[in-house]
Every structure is written in C-alpha cells, then in structure tokens.
A = this chain, B = another copy of it.
Amino acid sequence: MRNSSADQLILETLGVQKSHLTSHQIYEGVHLRLPALNPSTVYRALDRLVSQGKVTVSDMGLGAAVFELAGEKPHHHLVCQGCGYITMIADDQIAPLMETLEKNYHYKIKTNHLVLFGLCEQCQQNH
C-alpha cells in the first residue's frame, strides 16, 4: 500500500463536499483539479479506498452507489419507494444494534451509513 496522489485527491474531494457522491461525480470532481488523471485510475483508487476501509459505499436507490469518507458521523436513511422521500434516522436508533453485533460476532463494523427501503405512512395507504 502506497501513498497515491489519486487517493489523496479523492479523499480531499470527499472531505470537502461531505455529501453522498457517486463514483462518476467523484471522477468529475477530481478531473476538474487534475484533468490528466485517467478515469480508470479514479475508479481503481476508489475501489482501493473502500477495501482499505477509508471510504464507505451505500446504495441509496439512485441507480448508483454513493461514497463518503469513513469516520464521518454515522447517519442513516429511510427511502420511500412510493414517493422517493428520504427520512433521516438518528444514529441513536441504530448504534445499539451495531454494538450488539460487534460483540456477538467479534466484529469491528465499518458501515456507517444504513439505507433502508420501504413505504412511508402515506404511500402505504395510497397503495
């Protein structure tokens, strides 16, 4: 494992934007600052960072996975499959489960962003 400039750029980009970025958005952002950088380099660097646990991925049902810095404050979402509305879930509700799992399975969980799909109250009725 080596200190790569692509990795650095990606980490900075994620650090600045602090939002959920798709791989392509990341490529675009990095490309602005260093146009010479090849797409495949960016995609490969992203893979690396994820498997190193420095970056996390989640699927928010947007058609593409989204990335963010690992170590950001854990936060979670409910996504309604009826209307698309996204609700935040406080980490208080999730953290205890994570701790239980870590204890039961002797695991150190890195996932800091859960996305759960379902139907909101309204969309259950409109069914």
A interface, CB within 8 angstroms of B: 47, 50-53, 56-59, 61, 63, 65, 78, 80-81, 87, 89, 93-94, 97-98, 100-102, 104-111, 114-121, 124
Contact = CB atoms under 8 A, between A and B. Distances in A.
A119 B110 CA distance: 7
Given A59-B57, A81-B51, A97-B97, A117 B111 contact: yes
A118 B114 CA distance: 13
Given A107-B119, A124-B108, A61 B53 contact: no
A116 B104 CA distance: 14
Given A57-B61, A59-B65, A114-B114, 12 more contacts: A50-B81, A52-B81, A56-B117, A57-B59, A81-B110, A87-B107, A93-B100, A105-B120, A107-B118, A108-B119, A108-B124, A111-B115
B56 A59 contact: no
